[in-house]
Amino acid sequence: MTALEQLIEALKRLPGVGQKSAQRMAYHLLQHDRDGARAIAQALAAAASQVRLCERCHTFSEAPVCEICSDTRRDASLLCVVETPADQAALERSGSFQGYYFVLQGRLSPLDGQSTQAIGAQQLLARAAEPAVQEVILATSFTAEGEATAHVLGEALRARGIKATRLARGVPVGSELEYVDLGTIAHALVDRR
């Protein structure tokens, strides 16, 4: 394979990018934006080596503990559980939540071997058991797998005497939290049940 063919193959690893898009991207960069190609290469290598998971909430972070977890002015009585760093970022952008987060490693998907263990349920239960936590808000997606994840985690939390709530159904059913508009997210937070 030539360097151009290798580049097209590599770009196909990006989500949502097929042969046509990969080719268009490669040709564009080589013909019009070689500085861009080098900038993207550098940013990818830097992020792949520098971005780690926050020890406390498991979102992306370059420091051992992320900025939010390091912020002592937030409401320690509320812990919001999300599926991905993207969901956490969407909630944070809504500006309607002042507590702390816990980011799962995805959602339950027994068929894909995503067990409660694999998504970090043990760490969540340990985090939720800290005395300051009064309520855990389960903000997993309103998809079948997200609902199942919320159900299983909710049961486990309540069995340990921890209050567990769910975002209200203001969030459109079947959608990924990351793509929901901010107003809907804010509303769903207020109406949590």
**Contact set with its own copies (CB under 8 A):** 2-4, 6-7, 9-11, 13-16, 20-21, 23-31, 33-34, 36-48, 50-51, 60, 62, 84-86, 89, 178-179
Measure CA 9 to chain center.
27
Give Cα separations from 14 to 6, 78, 80, 112 (angstroms).
14, 35, 29, 21
Instruction: Examine residue 138 and tell whether it contacts Zn ion (CB under 5 A).
Output: no
**Candidate ranges 8-16, 32-40, 67-75, 126-134; the one touching Zn ion (CB under 5 A):** 67-75
Residue 135 host element (H or E): strand 135-138
Partner from its own copies, Zn ion, none contacting 57, C-beta within 5 to 8 A by type? Zn ion
The answer to whether 95 touches 40, Cβ cutoff 8 Å, is: no
Instruction: Examine residue 91 and tell whether it contacts Zn ion (CB under 5 A).
Output: no
Q: For residue 192, with 0-12 CB atoms within 10 Å meaning exposed, 13-18 middle and 19 or more buried, which class applies?
A: middle
* Beta carbons within 10 angstroms of residue 81's beta carbon: 27
Partner from Zn ion, its own copies, none contacting 7, C-beta within 5 to 8 A by type? its own copies
Partner from its own copies, Zn ion, none contacting 56, C-beta within 5 to 8 A by type? Zn ion
Note the residues at the interface with Zn ion (CB under 5 A). Answer: 54, 56-57, 66, 69
